[in-house]
A and B are shown apart, each in its own frame.
Chain A
Amino acid sequence: MFNIIFKSDNCPDIKTSAEKGANLLETALLAGVLIDSPCAGAGTCGKCKIKILSGTLEYEKNIHLSDKEYSEGYRLACQCRIVSDAEIYLPSSLSAFKSDIKTASLSSRDELERYSLLLSKVFNSGIKKDESSSGFGLAVDIGTTTVSAVLIDLKSGYVKAKASAGNAQIRYGADVINRIIASSKEGGRTRLKKAVREETILPLISSLCNEAEIEPEKIIKCVIAGNTTMEHLFVGEDAQSIRLEPYVPKFLELHGKTAADVGLPISESAPVIFAPNVGSYVGGDITAGTLMTLIWNSEELSLFIDLGTNGEIVFGNKDCLLCCACSAGPAFEGGDISCGMRATDGAIESCAIDENSMEPVLGVIANVPPAGICGSGLIDLISELFRTGIINAKGKFVKEGARIKHDEYMGSSYVVAFASQSADGKDIEITETDIDNFIRAKAAIFSAVRTLLSSLDMSVDMIEKIYIAGGIGSGINISKAIKIGMLPNVEERKYSYIGNSSLSGACAMLLSKEAENKVFETASNMTYIELSTYPGYMEEFIAACFLPHTNALLFD
């Protein structure tokens, strides 16, 4: 056994031990050290960069490290094998370190305020909170790309701790279809369940409990909200039918599960409630989120858009609710984007570009040197690149300048931050491929909205309220999102950003049996529209793969 010490700038050291040959990233996860690793150890994303302070690590070199970085001791944690005692430094802007999470955007004041505001609205709409009981509740949002969890004091309703991590299943594919295919291979269901339970959720629970300084057994209730596939894979259920005609999931609702049944290390008898699914691609994350929008209680026609790897859309009012889903890919969460990252410290979350000099002004979370771009930063950046004529309506670079690079293999790119200003001493740049991935993502969302509305013979002018949810960053700039044709062209005042509504919905369900019942009731009243059977959807999608849209009149 070797002794491994993890150090970072503003946290106490964490000591652990590991066998010879153990993987450093896995060792870190087991010790409760959360290193951001979107590719979950496949060595493809280059995000889990650490620095060796002492000791040696066996390392397989790959393209994510420059020779200079290598000689300075930087390594990708996922590619390191432990062969001696070692001291590891975690650059805080690159990796969300255990107790750093507290200060990261996930529990930023904005987000917490938004959460308590939403919750109070729900409890003012005729839904009663349960009689206070002492103990803690755990709410988990299992996303395809990101898993978030909060620990709640059931008595006071306060958030005691919050954390999030990449879904470790990502190594089996970035989207739900690939996950399902992986799960259908021999032993696949066990592997995927293990990835999300042991490698993702269990470390989150231990870090939440550490932060709140409580024993996991004190957690006496748990609510899980995830999309249909994630819920299936979490309980180890066969998910094949989700992707095969007629696209009917194995279950819509799960009842009577306890922590012992699903293998969570909290109080054994704690009930585990799953937010109900509506169809194969509209799941518990949306039904829990819909609770928070209060659409079900409103006369106004409202639209609820959840921007995630799967984009889900709910439209209607208290009399009728329709929903559909589209595949947007992980771009909104920083995936599939060469310089993408989740909305944590060091992420560029806003951007403005000067038309003449082509110089950007960046807003970075926590005001540290930038390390990458999160979803809201991407919307700003692409909107600004387009406004200033640096890219054309197809997302291709058409201007030359000091910040435009051309590479034989990578294609053209725009340097958002030069190496001298960035956190890891490398240019942060956005490539044509990145822009293309983003345009597809925004096109998937917009064309789904159009198709859903046109299935009712309605147009965007009839929408009175639009709720945007998702982990794309704290403040999404609505006017810029409209300028690139991602969101419908209606007055900005009709929009509100409600953050991770799946997670706050799960919290509401933790605190109130009535809220839970309401979620089940709403879910059973939603009409699910399968876009893939709509012949016009593909054409709408191609039309939306343009800035802002092939039909420019929609964005006049």
Chain B
Amino acid sequence: MGFKRSPQTFSAKVNAVTIGTGEKAVTIGGENVFPLYSFDAPIENKPKIGVQISDRGYNNAVAGIAEYYKGAENFVDMAKKAALMPGADFLVLSFESANPDAENTSVEECAALAKEIAEAVDMPIVVEGCKNKEKDAKLFDKIAAALEGKNSLFLSAQEENYKEIAASAGLAYKHKVGAESAVDINLAKQLNVLINQMGVAGENIVMNLGSAAAGYGFEYVASTMDRVRSAALSQNDTMLQMPVITPVSDEAWSVKESIVSQEEFPQWGSMEQRGVSMEISTAAACLAAGSNAVILRHPESIATISKLISAMCDKEGN
């Protein structure tokens, strides 16, 4: 008797969330199978890739990144170039300079830049804050107003500032809200419940479950994503059915493998190649564990992961 494969599909689904407007809008989630299990049922929406640019620029970045943005004189120029990057589906604007410990750029300045970029490119926009929770709450409020109608995603609301971000980005300006928790299924669900209780529908929330670079405790990330997906699909847990977006680049480009120079560790080889490998392996692991979107930085990583997604999700011959 031949092997008969019984597809493992579920009646529950991951929410499909659309970011952006018009032709370039992207939709993540929507599948009713485990991550990348395209052999069980077609993946409703392929995982997507965001290209991340920082308002502090990439002049000192590794050659591949610096080269790509060469000639860009400001953040808007960078955004225009990033929007053309092969393999990228959406643009991720990181307003790092707004951090009070960095340049402490004013929220008005950031909002004006965001608006200018939104007018110059037609890619969906994901907004990242400055990793200062108080400032992010104010920053997102202003940017959400500036980007009204653009259906952007704001990363992220956390337990400490979800109220302001949900009220402003989520309710007043009708954007999507990113809910960030620290690699724990219960904390993730609790934050979703809190944001939902503010009045933001589950269908307008995207989860950032937290991450680690591959090899840096990634097994926690994998098991958390795994269980979140399992609860969403097999238990129909509506408070865990949000699609998952994972900012990979911040983690991947800050570990030792990606930052010590070749002079220091000649036997390790090229620093840039190490960083790219870190970014690719972490992103691939996230996609396999359940991320519906990853945020990356290096053109080579983006091209590689894009190819990987096609190979995993497209029907043969496509």
B194 near A543 (CB under 8 angstroms)?
A: no
B186 near A394 (CB under 8 angstroms)?
A: no
A543 near B197 (CB under 8 angstroms)?
A: no
- In whole angstroms, what is the CA distance A392 to B162 when docked? 12
- In whole angstroms, what is the CA distance A546 to B189 when docked? 10
> What string of 1s and 0s marks CB contacts (under 8 Å) between A530-556 and chain B?
000000000100110110001010000
Given A394-B159, A398-B163, check contact A550 B194 (CB 8 Å): no
- In whole angstroms, what is the CA distance A545 to B184 when docked? 13
B187 near A392 (CB under 8 angstroms)?
A: no
- In whole angstroms, what is the CA distance A281 to B185 when docked? 29
- In whole angstroms, what is the CA distance A543 to B189 when docked? 9
Residue B132, interface by CB 8 Å: no
Specify which chain A residues have a CB less than 8 angstroms from the CB of B194 in the assembled complex: 392-394
B197 near A393 (CB under 8 angstroms)?
A: yes
Given A394-B159, A398-B163, A542-B184, check contact A550 B189 (CB 8 Å): yes
CB contact list, B175-208 vs A, under 8 A:
184-187, 189-190, 193-194, 197
Specify which chain A residues have a CB less than 8 angstroms from the CB of B159 in the assembled complex: 394
Residue of A nearest to B240 (CB): A550
B186 near A550 (CB under 8 angstroms)?
A: yes
B193 near A542 (CB under 8 angstroms)?
A: no
A393 near B190 (CB under 8 angstroms)?
A: yes
Nearest CB in chain B: distance from A550 CB, A:
5
- In whole angstroms, what is the CA distance A546 to B184 when docked? 14
Residue of A nearest to B160 (CB): A396
Residue of A nearest to B188 (CB): A550
Specify which chain A residues have a CB less than 8 angstroms from the CB of B193 in the assembled complex: 393, 546, 550, 552
- In whole angstroms, what is the CA distance A77 to B90 when docked? 66
Specify which chain B residues have a CB less than 8 angstroms from the CB of A393 in the assembled complex: 190, 193-194, 197
Count residues on chain A whose CB falls below 8 Å from chain B CBs: 11
Nearest CB in chain A: distance from B22 CB, A:
37
A546 near B190 (CB under 8 angstroms)?
A: yes
B190 near A394 (CB under 8 angstroms)?
A: yes
- In whole angstroms, what is the CA distance A550 to B240 when docked? 11
CB contact list, B272-294 vs A, under 8 A:
none
B163 near A542 (CB under 8 angstroms)?
A: no
> What string of 1s and 0s marks CB contacts (under 8 Å) between A389-429 and chain B?
00011100010000000000000000000000000000000
Residue among A398, A546, A550 having the largest count of chain B Cβ atoms under 10 Å? A550
Specify which chain B residues have a CB less than 8 angstroms from the CB of A546 in the assembled complex: 186, 190, 193
Specify which chain B residues have a CB less than 8 angstroms from the CB of A552 in the assembled complex: 193
CB contact list, B121-159 vs A, under 8 A:
159
Specify which chain B residues have a CB less than 8 angstroms from the CB of A394 in the assembled complex: 159, 190, 194
Nearest CB in chain A: distance from B4 CB, A:
33
- In whole angstroms, what is the CA distance A340 to B82 when docked? 58
Nearest CB in chain A: distance from B155 CB, A:
21
Specify which chain B residues have a CB less than 8 angstroms from the CB of A545 in the assembled complex: 186
- In whole angstroms, what is the CA distance A550 to B186 when docked? 7
Q: Which of A392, A539, A542 contacts B197 (CB 8 A)?
A: A392
A550 near B190 (CB under 8 angstroms)?
A: yes
Nearest CB in chain A: distance from B189 CB, A:
5
- In whole angstroms, what is the CA distance A552 to B197 when docked? 13
Given A393-B193, A393-B194, A550-B193, check contact A543 B163 (CB 8 Å): no
Residue of B nearest to A398 (CB): B163
Residue of B nearest to A552 (CB): B193
- In whole angstroms, what is the CA distance A250 to B194 when docked? 47
> What string of 1s and 0s marks CB contacts (under 8 Å) between A361-379 and chain B?
0000000000000000000
Specify which chain A residues have a CB less than 8 angstroms from the CB of B184 in the assembled complex: 542
CB contact list, B250-273 vs A, under 8 A:
none
Residue of B nearest to A539 (CB): B186
- In whole angstroms, what is the CA distance A542 to B184 when docked? 9
Specify which chain B residues have a CB less than 8 angstroms from the CB of A543 in the assembled complex: 186
Specify which chain A residues have a CB less than 8 angstroms from the CB of B187 in the assembled complex: 542
Specify which chain A residues have a CB less than 8 angstroms from the CB of B186 in the assembled complex: 539, 542-543, 545-546, 550
Specify which chain A residues have a CB less than 8 angstroms from the CB of B163 in the assembled complex: 398
- In whole angstroms, what is the CA distance A543 to B237 when docked? 14
- In whole angstroms, what is the CA distance A546 to B159 when docked? 12
Nearest CB in chain B: distance from A93 CB, A:
38
Specify which chain B residues have a CB less than 8 angstroms from the CB of A550 in the assembled complex: 186, 189-190, 193
Specify which chain A residues have a CB less than 8 angstroms from the CB of B185 in the assembled complex: 539
Residue of A nearest to B187 (CB): A542
Specify which chain B residues have a CB less than 8 angstroms from the CB of A542 in the assembled complex: 184, 186-187
Nearest CB in chain B: distance from A406 CB, A:
14
- In whole angstroms, what is the CA distance A539 to B220 when docked? 13
Specify which chain B residues have a CB less than 8 angstroms from the CB of A398 in the assembled complex: 163
Nearest CB in chain A: distance from B12 CB, A:
15
Nearest CB in chain B: distance from A116 CB, A:
44
- In whole angstroms, what is the CA distance A110 to B69 when docked? 78
- In whole angstroms, what is the CA distance A546 to B188 when docked? 12
- In whole angstroms, what is the CA distance A393 to B189 when docked? 12
Nearest CB in chain B: distance from A436 CB, A:
12
Nearest CB in chain A: distance from B277 CB, A:
33
Residue of B nearest to A389 (CB): B197
- In whole angstroms, what is the CA distance A9 to B159 when docked? 49
CB contact list, A497-556 vs B, under 8 A:
539, 542-543, 545-546, 550, 552
- In whole angstroms, what is the CA distance A526 to B36 when docked? 49
- In whole angstroms, what is the CA distance A529 to B218 when docked? 31
Given contact pairs A546-B186, A550-B186, A552-B193, enumerate 20 new A-B contacts (beta carbons under 8 Å). Answer: A392-B194, A392-B197, A393-B190, A393-B193, A393-B194, A393-B197, A394-B159, A394-B190, A394-B194, A398-B163, A539-B185, A539-B186, A542-B186, A542-B187, A545-B186, A546-B190, A546-B193, A550-B189, A550-B190, A550-B193
Which 9 A-B residue pairs are closest in the complex by CB-CB distance? A542-B186, A543-B186, A550-B186, A546-B190, A550-B189, A550-B190, A392-B194, A393-B193, A393-B194
Write 24 A-B pairs (CB below 8 A) sorted by A numbering.
A392-B194, A392-B197, A393-B190, A393-B193, A393-B194, A394-B159, A394-B190, A394-B194, A398-B163, A539-B185, A539-B186, A542-B184, A542-B186, A542-B187, A543-B186, A545-B186, A546-B186, A546-B190, A546-B193, A550-B186, A550-B189, A550-B190, A550-B193, A552-B193
